[in-house]
Structure 1
């Protein structure tokens, strides 16, 4: 195990490196490559990753607190039982990532690519997902209470049994979404009606 504190890296290549159980605090990585790297059980605190490539990286059991992953690629990365607490993930791509058992505690996941993500039964309360792409994702029985889903793409998403009470749903087209069994509040029904072209007076 090693510790990095307040380090700054740009265009560095850490591909296939073994950083298991490393502790990173207030570090910044800009356009760095972590392709295939072993980052299992890594702990990051107040770190910032900008346009970094985590293609195929192993982040199983990693813990991230108030860190930022901005416009990063996590294509085919393994995030099994990883934890993100109040992190900023804006613009990052999670295509084909393994997100089983992942924990998300609040934070900003706006503009992320979560197509076909398996997020069933996840506790996603209070998370910002503005304009996130959930196309064909599995959100069955997910807890999305108070989440901000403004203008999110939900075409083909599974929402059966999901709890949307208190969530912000403005600008969503619900026509291609199966909402049977979804829990909503009376006021939210207006957003559903408008997406079907109803004129609510």
Structure 2
């Protein structure tokens, strides 16, 4: 096990290093690569990763607290039972990543690519997904109350049994949604009706 604190790294290749069980505190990584790396059960706190490459990396069991992953690539990464608490993930790409058992506790996931992500039955309450791509995502019975879903792409997403009450859905194309059993509040019901040509008033 190792501990890094208040370190800064730029354009460093960590791919071949065994980073399992390590602790990172207030470190900054800029355009570093962790591609196909071993980061199982790593803990990051108040760290910042900018344009880093985590493609194919093993991050299962990892815990991240108030860290930022800005415009990072997680394509094909293993995030099984990983946890993100109040993290800033803006612009990061999770296409093809394994998100089974992931815990997302608050934070800003705006502009992320979560296309086809499996997030069924997840507690995603209050998370910011502004302009996130959730096309085809499995959100069956997920708790999306009070989320910012404004301008999010939800085409062909499974929202069956999802709780959307209190979520900001301004700019969402309701015609692309399947909403069987979905819980909506009055404001969302109005947006939904308007999408199908109803005149409210």
Instruction: Sort the TM-score into its range (normalised by shorter chain).
Output: over 0.9
Where does residue 192 of structure 2 map in the other structure?
192
Residue of structure 2 equivalent to 1:162: 162
Offset at 1:177? 1.1
The aligned residue for residue 109 of structure 1 is 109
Report whether the alignment pairs 1:123 with 2:123: yes
Which structure 2 segments of 5+ residues have no match?
none
Per-residue CA deviations over 1:101-135 (Å, capped at 9, x if unaligned) read 00000100000000000000011000000000011
Secondary structure of 2:186 counterpart: coil
- Once residues 49 and 146 of structure 1 are traced to their aligned partners in structure 2, the CA distance between those partners, rounded to angstroms, is 27
SS in 2 for 1:187: helix
Q: What residue is the counterpart of 1:181 in the other structure?
A: 181
Q: Which runs of 4+ in 1 moved over 2 A?
A: 194-201
Q: Give the whole-Å Cα distance in 2 for the aligned partners of 1:16 and 1:156.
A: 39
Q: Distance in 2 between matches of 1:63 and 1:196?
A: 43
C-alpha distance in structure 2 between counterparts of 1:112 and 1:198, whole Å = 32
3-state secondary structure, aligned to 2:24: strand
- Residue 200 of structure 1 deviates from its aligned partner by 2.6
Shift of 1:187: 2.4
TM-score, length of structure 2 as denominator length: 0.98
Say which SS state the counterpart of residue 194 (structure 2) adopts. helix
**1:52-87 alpha-carbon deviations (Å, 9 max, x no partner):** 000000000100000000000000000000000000
Which blocks of at least 5 consecutive residues in structure 1 are unaligned?
Answer: none
d(CA) in 1 for partners of 2:169 and 2:199?
17
Write out per-residue CA displacement over residues 14-39 of structure 1, whole angstroms, 9 at most, x where no aligned residue: 11321001000000000000001111
Match in the other structure for 2:145 = 145
What is the total number of aligned residue pairs between the two structures? 201
Q: TM-score, normalised by structure 1?
A: 0.98
Q: Are positions 1:55 and 2:52 aligned together?
A: no
For 1:192 and 1:127, the matched residues in 2 are separated by 22
Describe how 1:57-136 pairs up with structure 2 within 5 A.
Answer: 57-136=57-136
Deviates more, 1:15-24 or 1:126-135: 15-24
